[in-house]
Chain A
């Protein structure tokens, strides 16, 4: 599973990245978490509010730090 956290590096983006990594570790999921800071790439996903989380190419949320429960649902499926 490929998880990408999109965000230029503001406080909320870092919070989102930390939370995603924590959740993945907690669930022991086989997922690769990557932070994307490059504007061209972020825009390439059609996302224009950050932080955003992309799971296997699907934008799951944008413009907010997701809740842990939400992240679990995305990884769980």
Chain B
């Protein structure tokens, strides 16, 4: 009710209330966050009385520490990204991209992919909207690769579980793959492999009413994003961490090194191939990834696996098939898979 009241009575300003509430919330968040590790140890070794240095103890402590930590960080990141996203709409993004030169357009599209609100079920209308407005095909693909791959859930979880460095590496390489793969697809001149009916569409002139947002609306928008996303993925996070905790406690140190280590050259392409038909959201896959890394899997291989699972998924291909001919779909998969392969080998070589 607060919302509709504020729309009817613009003078009633709740912003100071929201801001002070937000600051208090942040302080409480920080106080709880700092106590998580001692609390997890206390719960595991004193309350549950599990022996220190036992396999079970390691698993249980890991679970009690990581679950609240990841959910708290996820909440914060999703809220922050939600506020940023309230400044963007697919319509504005399209306006910014139309008529841009190719390479600059690819970079801009990949960056906008992070902040534009997008759900993969609107991939088709978005594709049509972009292409009919004169956004080059390659630039459109940069957006379509970046939007699902570099998202707030992946970044929030990577930051929570593996630290900001890995999150930054993921973001940087994800953007590079989106920019370069989009540029390559643009160079290949595949415009005639878009389904014919798309080109015949006349986009209606129905104007969308411009919705002006106040800061108060943006805070509500961010909070709605938290409720929506955290409410949707928490169960995957907990399941993922439970599997991760099992690996953490029971799989011997260095076990993964032989299968997913640097020495095995074939592990990167294999990770990409296995990842393509697999479909999971970032929330489920990242806790498992963390545990694999801890047991000696190479970072490049793990990054490649993760990107392949998130960026290339069967359901999205089925959706895109409505607007793209098979040859363009295969090119898309091939180019993106090559990009991910390069990322995998690069990181195995330098780290």
Contact = CB atoms under 8 A, between A and B. Distances in A.
Interface of A: 7-10, 12-13, 39-40, 42-50, 54, 57-64, 67, 69-70, 72-73
Nearest to A69: B4
A39 B321 CA distance: 12
B206 A49 contact: no
B204 A46 contact: yes
Nearest to B130: A48
Contacts of A43: 125, 128-129, 132, 201, 203-204
B124 interface: yes
Interface string B110-134: 0000000111011011111110100
Given A8-B121, A69-B3, 5 more contacts: A42-B125, A46-B204, A48-B128, A50-B121, A59-B207
A63 B224 CA distance: 14
By CB atoms of chain A within 10 A, which of B125, B127, B201, B205 has the most?
A: B125
Interface in B190-209: 197, 201-209
B316 to A, nearest CB: 12
Contact of B121 (A10, A40, A57, A64): A10
By CB atoms of chain B within 10 A, which of A12, A49, A57, A64 has the most?
A: A49
B51 to A, nearest CB: 45
B89 A49 contact: yes
3 closest A-B pairs by CB: A48-B129, A10-B121, A69-B4
A40 B125 contact: no
A44 B202 contact: yes
By CB atoms of chain A within 10 A, which of B119, B206, B208, B211 has the most?
A: B208
A49 B125 contact: yes
Contacts of B55: none
Contact of B125 (A48, A54, A61): A48
Given A10-B121, A48-B129, A62 B91 contact: yes
A7 B123 CA distance: 11
Interface of B: 1, 3-4, 7, 89-91, 94, 117-119, 121-122, 124-130, 132, 197, 201-209, 211, 319, 322-323
A40 B209 contact: no
B199 to A, nearest CB: 12
A49 B124 CA distance: 9
A58 B124 contact: no
Contacts of A48: 90-91, 94, 122, 125-130
By CB atoms of chain A within 10 A, which of B4, B127, B322 has the most?
A: B4
Contact of A58 (B125, B132, B206): B206
Given A39-B322, A44-B202, A8 B124 contact: yes
Contact of A59 (B118, B127, B202, B206): B206
B117 A63 contact: yes
Contacts of B126: 48-49
By CB atoms of chain B within 10 A, which of A7, A48, A69 has the most?
A: A48
Contacts of A72: 4
Contacts of A63: 89-90, 117, 122
B211 A61 contact: yes
A69 to B, nearest CB: 4
B208 A59 contact: yes
A58 B7 CA distance: 20
